[in-house]
Structure 1
Amino acid sequence: MPSSVSLITGVAGFIGSHLAAALLRRGERVVGVDNFDPFYPRDLKERRLREIARDGFHFVEADIRDRDAMFHLMATHRPRRLYHLAALAGVRPSIEQPHRYADVNVNGLVSVLDAARTAGCGAIVFASSSSVYGNNPKTPFAEDDPVDHPISPYAATKKAGELLMHTYAHLFNLRAACLRFFTVYGPGQRPDLAIATFMRRMRKGQPITLFGDGSTSRDYTFIDDIIEGVLRAADRIEQPDCGNYRIWNLGGSAPITLAHLVAAIERVSGLRAVIERKPPQPGDVERTFADLSRSRSELGFEPRTPLAEGLVRQWAWLLDSE
């Protein structure tokens, strides 16, 4: 029988480390796996692990594509719940390395799913992405909107992941929740993402690059709100009346343009941004905007952190980490 352990892949990442800390605060035992992919510096990931290290947490360094390692991991710990957050992230790098993104995000997922089902894992939460909506002409984006037109390899791998989750739920009676995250930010945000990049460069007096005319918009979602949604989804997917496969949006549902984001960071930091403009980048969507009707109704999910407050907390984290 599965144990009371929760297993997190990608535990040294931004969302994974926050999720591990939240589960540990709830008194759960957590096993985390990560391979320290060099997409960004290992020392940042190791720092996250040091911050969450305590009784009840066990870390394993392994690659999700290593089937032997995944089967051994699952057989040893027999998790009740699996939170699959490990993936290669980033739209633009996926255009340069589509083969690698497919290998990690699709083959890696299959490896994890096979190991989890063999070990009797009851519920699996999969980190999908708002990128699956592509340039959806309808706003806000709802879970039952067509998602057959991704515009980056990264988005395509996330759509493939959702399909695999559905297939395994159907074939093997797994409880499968797919969560479409909308641009997550907050303390410890991935260093390649816009808010982290802008804050870091503005702090150093360096110019920031804006692709396009600043009119593209994103539905920024604070990390604490995302973690609350993840926990609610994991609880809900185990309920008998939920069915064994469900997709939920987790977003702030309050999109803001890139130009307005820069202005907001200027207000928080008290600094003036020096802007370098470049043409729009291939693979970047024009907008994201989460319809939360299903998440509110079925999960009781409600984002509670306004952008201004979230930016203040991320800016303070940056200053403290220097």
Structure 2
Amino acid sequence: MSLENPEVLVTGANGFIGRAVCAGLENQIVLKLDRHGVGVNSLCVDLSRHKIDVSLPKSIKTIYHFAGQIWGDVATEKMMCDHVIEMAKTCGAEQIIFASTCAVYGQEAMDAPVSETAQNSPLSPYAEGKLAAEYLLAEAAQNYGFDVAALRYFNPFGPGQYEKMAVPAMLAKAGLGQDLEIFGDGQQVRDFIYIDDLAEATIKVADVVKGFEIYNVGSGFGVSINQLAEKIIDITHSSAKIIYNPVPDERKNLEVYYRVADISKITNACSWQPETSLSKGLSAMVEGS
């Protein structure tokens, strides 16, 4: 590593969200930390290990924590968060911006946009781990004076997303003329937020957060899985059909039928609004493939 006086540290910098945020921080000096980190402004560190050896410059003021596992667990998520808190204490950082998830809400707010004050009811180890990390960060804000934003991301999508996630997987199948398989009746509603809009919100939060705050980051609009599939078929000019399969028994208790963000808190705090429609975002993914 050879970098003078970085102002920002980004963990998970080579991931889907990390890359987008780093691109948006082009006017700041950024130190990237990733388990696959290479380059003059990068550190190769695996935060999922029990012990890490990392020395950070005292110039860092903000840490964006995106490192994580797609199918994470509570113990690993807490350990990674503990590492980040210790790094912040050591280098004298003032802020931590954390990538949490809307999955902490579980099956709450089944028919209306969910706000940050809704009851938490995580249904998976991944969601439980994110919520546990939020609790650790809330304690750190109180005990050490950090300003912390826990960003509950809804359904990010965009170019460069992991190919097995729902949107890129459906786009790939449609592009090959393969039928799109949906579990259940396809009426499940989700909130899809384009990656560039998500990154902009993430960066703007750092300008306003004080103490510990939770913010939803979504589009604020619900789209059914049927509507998503139909848009994908239309945009790709595909001959694919939609095939409906029963929800597997092991998923029935985890199924969430309606999850849309109430984004009024972050829009009011940051003067931010998502700008990219689902159709425009899908088109960008097709063009970039």
| Structure 2 residue corresponding to 1:245, chosen from 197, 200, 212 | 212
User: How far off its partner does 1:150 sit?
Assistant: 1.0
Indicate the residue corresponding to 2:114 in structure 1.
141
1:180 and 2:152 equivalent? yes
The one-letter code of the counterpart of 1:270 is: H
Aligned to 1:263: 230
Query: Quick check: 1:300 aligned with 2:271?
Result: yes
Shift in Å, 1:23: 0.6
Q: Quick check: 1:131–1:285 contact (8 Å CA) kept in 2?
A: no
Indicate the residue corresponding to 1:43 in structure 2.
Answer: none
Match 2:100 to one of 117, 122, 128: 128
Q: Specify the alignment match of 2:33 in structure 1.
A: 33
Gaps of 5+ in 1: 37-45, 95-99, 238-242
Q: Cα gap change, 1:77/1:202 in structure 2, threshold over 3 Å: closer, same or farther?
A: farther
Correspondent of 1:22 among 21, 24, 36: 24
Normalising by structure 2, what TM-score? 0.91
Amino acid at match of 1:12: N
Aligned pairs for 1:158-307 within 5 A: 158-237=130-209, 243-280=210-247, 282=251, 283-307=254-278
Q: Which amino acid in structure 2 is aligned with residue 260 of structure 1? A: Q
In the TM superposition, residue 175 of structure 1 has moved relative to its aligned partner by 0.8
Which runs of 5 or more structure 2 residues have no equivalent in the other structure? none
1:115 pairs with one of 55, 68, 87: 87
Amino acid at match of 1:264: K
SS at match of 1:135: coil
Q: Secondary structure at the match of 1:205?
A: coil
- Residue 69 of structure 1 aligns with which residue? 52
The number of equivalent residue pairs is 281
Which one-letter code corresponds to 1:226 in the other structure?
L
Q: Which moved more, 1:266-275 or 1:286-295?
A: 266-275
Give the partner amino acid of 1:35.
Answer: R
- Mapped contact 2:154–2:217 kept (Cα < 8 A): yes
Residues 215-241 of structure 1, C-alpha deviation per residue, up to 9 Å, x if partnerless?
A: 11110001111011001101112xxxx
Contact (CA 8 Å) 2:149, 2:215: kept in 1 or not?
Answer: yes
* Matched position secondary structure for 1:118: helix
Q: Contact 1:127 / 1:179 at 8 angstroms: preserved in 2?
A: yes
CA–CA separation in structure 1 for the residues paired with 2:106 and 2:169: 23
Q: TM-score, normalised by structure 1?
A: 0.82
Whether 1:104 and 2:71 are equivalent positions in the alignment is no
Q: 177-186 or 266-275: which moved more?
A: 266-275
Deviations 1:6-49 (A, max 9, x none): 1111111111001111112xx2111112224xxxxxxxxx9xx8
Q: Deviations over 1:149-185 (max 9, x none)?
A: 1111111111111111101001111110111111001
1:151 counterpart = 2:116: no
CA contact (8 A) 1:83 1:126 kept: yes
Could you tell me which residue of structure 2 aligns to residue 58 of structure 1?
A: 41
Question: Per-residue CA shift, 1:68-99, capped at 9, x if unaligned?
Answer: 535x24x346421100001112xxxx4xxxxx
Secondary structure (helix, strand or coil) at the match of 1:259 reads helix
Task: Identify the structure with the greater helix proportion.
Answer: 1
Q: Separation in 1 of the partners of 2:108 and 2:85? A: 30
Identity of aligned residues (%): 28
Flag the 1:206–1:145 CA change in 2: closer, same or farther, 3 A.
same
